[in-house]
Amino acid sequence: MTPSGVYSNKGIHSLTIYNLRIPQSAKQLHRERAIWQERSEIEALDEDHFILVIRLVPGRAVSS
């Protein structure tokens, strides 16, 4: 889906797919993006589906 080399293969990434046809999905996507800020990116799959990519720091707990 994403060209090779766009995301580093080092470290751990969390990927979450959001279906914006489901009520409240867009709101949740933007809420999560705000929490992770510069450690996250939003990628479009098509007009209704988006992926939130979060770069996780090894050894740290994940909470949201």
pLDDT in tens, 21-50: 999 999 999 999 999 999 999 999 999 999
Return the higher-pLDDT residue of 58 and 41: 41
Looking at residue 11, its pLDDT comes to 78
Which residues contact residue 54 at a Cβ distance below 8 angstroms, ignoring those fewer than 6 apart?
13, 14, 15, 16, 32, 36, 39, 40
Sign of CA dihedral 1, 30, 38, 59: negative
